[in-house]
Structure 1
Amino acid sequence: MMAPAAAGAADWQPVEQVKTYAISGTTGAALYEAIGKRAPQAGGGLAIAHTGFKLTWTRTYEPQGSACAITVAKPRLIITYTLPKPSGRLAPDVAASWTRFISGVEKHERVHGTFIKDLVQQIQDFSLGLRVENDPDCQKIRQVLTARLGELSKAERAKNVEFDRVELNPGGNVHQLILSLVNGP
């Protein structure tokens, strides 16, 4: 097996979209309580917001004599950020508090999006130019690729878990955003 060619700059762009779920309330505490009732499932529990993605690939496995190489590895990535959104008009002081809260939550979710984009780039960098000798039917190369994808995915999941642990623990950024919203107007 030869080392994969480095793929320089990304030749792809993700599609990023924001979806919302409706909540209601007239105070920060009521809005947060509504989030608890309507929040999406994520990581085995409920989450204020969630970052999900759909990833598909166009890959060309090309027999080259007795070897096989990946000559095309183009991702199509759709990242969806799901955020709460008040369904009614908020009083100015509550609206200002909500804006600070949701801006911070969205910033947090976009870090998860960056982790996903980094993962996809790592996959592309590894895939493009990957060559496995003694694989004229392009079967061994798929096993090599699958093993590496598992390693990369596991590392990305660990990075997300650690990021959430820091952000959501007492004193963490998201924890502070929650306290500010709940204790505000």
Structure 2
Amino acid sequence: MTVTARLHAFVGLFVFISAAMPAVAQEWQATEKVDHYNVNGSTPMALYQSIGERGPKLSLGRVIAHTTFKLTWQRDYQPQGQACVLASAKPRLIITYTLPKPAQKLSPDVAAKWQAFYDGIVEHEKLHGQFMKDLTQNIQDVSIGLRDENDPGCKKVRAALQAQLKPISDAHVARHSDYDRVEMSPGGAVHQLILAFLNP
């Protein structure tokens, strides 16, 4: 059964909360979590077939692994006379990696092959996680200090920010897609991982 290691739901939730903070860049750190799903079998082929039966289900079918994120924002819009400035934008980013895990103890030779396969899948998904961190930083970079001199209700600044978010998110989705296309094409890193795992 063919299984493709694919994508990530782009889950972006933007929350606007007022708080008195200075107009300076804010340090932040992503929270990263791992969820495992069990796969059955004592041979590489049986384990791989179980991945095809039990892996995360996306629109394209079952996948080997899946990376999602939830992004929320604490933003401080400050009226300054007739002007408005976005003084701070602090993200809360939670990245979740869903990965396979054997449900039973494997023989030493199969366990070694599984570990190499698993480590390669983790490396692939971790780069997707880095893309999500980059997206968050890009949004923060265009947010802090955004200003309109004639915006007493802070509506123009909010609209200006939303206008900048679409090209950033579009580039983010394309980056994921391009990466997966290369990794999973014949000869790509994920394709090679699968072949190395299944071949005697």
TM-score by length of 2: 0.85
Answer yes or no: is the 8 Å Cα contact 1:22–1:86 preserved in 2. yes
Instruction: Identify the residue that residue 126 of structure 1 maps to in structure 2.
Output: 142
Change (3 A) 1:115 1:43: farther
Question: What is the DSSP-based 3-state SS (H/G/I as helix, E as strand, rest coil) of the residue aligned with 2:38?
Answer: strand
> What code does the residue aligned with 2:32 have?
E
Alignment of 1:175 onto 2:177: no
Q: How does 1:151-170 map to 2 (within 5 A)?
A: 151-170=167-186
Change (3 A) 1:6 1:130: same
**What CA distance in whole angstroms lies between the structure 2 residues aligned with 1:142 and 1:129?**
12
Count how many residue pairs are aligned between Structure 1 and Structure 2: 178
Instruction: Give me the CA root mean square deviation.
Output: 1.5
Question: What is the DSSP-based 3-state SS (H/G/I as helix, E as strand, rest coil) of the residue aligned with 2:84?
Answer: strand
Q: How does 1:1-185 map to 2 (within 5 A)?
A: 7=25, 11-42=27-58, 44-184=60-200
> What code does the residue aligned with 2:199 have?
N
Render the CA deviation track for 1:80-134: whole Å, top value 9, x for unaligned: 0100000100010000000000000000000000000000001011101111221
Change (3 A) 1:6 1:104: farther
Identical amino acids, percent of aligned pairs: 56
Render the CA deviation track for 1:29-75: whole Å, top value 9, x for unaligned: 11111000011134643221011011111001111121211112000
**What CA distance in whole angstroms lies between the structure 2 residues aligned with 1:140 and 1:159?**
30
Structure 1, gaps ≥5 residues long? none
Answer yes or no: is the 8 Å Cα contact 2:53–2:62 preserved in 1. no
Instruction: Identify the residue that residue 6 of structure 2 maps to in structure 1.
Output: none
**What CA distance in whole angstroms lies between the structure 1 residues aligned with 2:159 and 2:47?**
48
> What code does the residue aligned with 1:82 have?
T
**What CA distance in whole angstroms lies between the structure 2 residues aligned with 1:57 and 1:169?**
36
Offset of 1:6 from its aligned partner? 8.5
Question: What is the DSSP-based 3-state SS (H/G/I as helix, E as strand, rest coil) of the residue aligned with 1:108?
Answer: helix
> What code does the residue aligned with 2:144 have?
L
Change (3 A) 1:108 1:78: same
Structure 2, gaps ≥5 residues long? 1-22
**What CA distance in whole angstroms lies between the structure 2 residues aligned with 1:164 and 1:111?**
11
Question: What is the DSSP-based 3-state SS (H/G/I as helix, E as strand, rest coil) of the residue aligned with 1:152?
Answer: helix
